[in-house]
Chains A and B, each alone.
Chain A
Amino acid sequence: GQNIDQPTEMTATEGAIVQINCTYQTSGFNGLFWYQQHAGEAPTFLSYNVLDGLEEKGRFSSFLSRSKGYSYLLLKELQMKDSASYLCAVRPRSRGSTLGRLYFGRGTQLTVWP
């Protein structure tokens, strides 16, 4: 398997900025993904990084450093509805029948307070 580490819990207040970190160790690398999962619901795709740098999508941005095995998800102008679990997932380089597999971290439970 892959070694993916992210904090278990984080809290922040409405309107603030929060950064959720993710470190990984993989046998080859072919992309890192962030998913949002509200309690009792399915994960939904947020962002994808395959090259180093920052990808911005509205209030959410994701950064990747392949040499450091490190990524973060940045959430700006936090809203109550952002309270959810944020999952970091890595796609290692693979071929054949394993192509496309993702390995997920345990998720970071973010609570946004008013």
Chain B
Amino acid sequence: EADIYQTPRYLVIGTGKKITLECSQTMGHDKMYWYQQDPGMELHLIHYSYGVNSTEKGDLSSESTVSRIRTEHFPLTLESARPSHTSQYLCASSAPTGPSSYEQYFGPGTRLTVT
């Protein structure tokens, strides 16, 4: 079983608030990812990281930011939440190069609702 955690699991927040979605993994994985997924739609990569102090934007334009100060921690921050940010946010990690580098392990997700 994968050891990757996300908090909170559910969040309802008003427009304009600043929020941080937490993601932690205890597997020592170098690679970490943030995806956004709407019901019935594909996962869209919004940010990824290949190690400490290395982050990149993904395919989906996002108003969020990320940081990677420690290997195990990859938080995502929205400076000013808007209703268009309402979605499911999934964090994932994968092993560094080697036979197991292909598999991404997903956290349970955070369902965000912005009112």
Contacts and interface: CB of A to CB of B under 8 A. Distances in A.
Contact of A43 (B31, B43, B94, B97): B43
Given A42-B90, A105-B42, A97 B108 contact: no
A71 B71 CA distance: 34
Interface residues of B, number: 24
B112 to A, nearest CB: 14
Nearest to A106: B42
Contacts of A106: 40-42
Q: Which of B45, B50, B102 has the most CB of A within 10 A?
A: B102
Contacts of B54: 97
A101 B102 contact: no
Interface of A: 1, 4, 8, 31, 33, 40-45, 48, 50, 87, 91, 97-102, 104-107, 109
B56 interface: yes
Q: For A33, A98, A104, A109, which residue has the most chain B Cβ atoms within 10 angstroms?
A: A104
Nearest to B104: A102
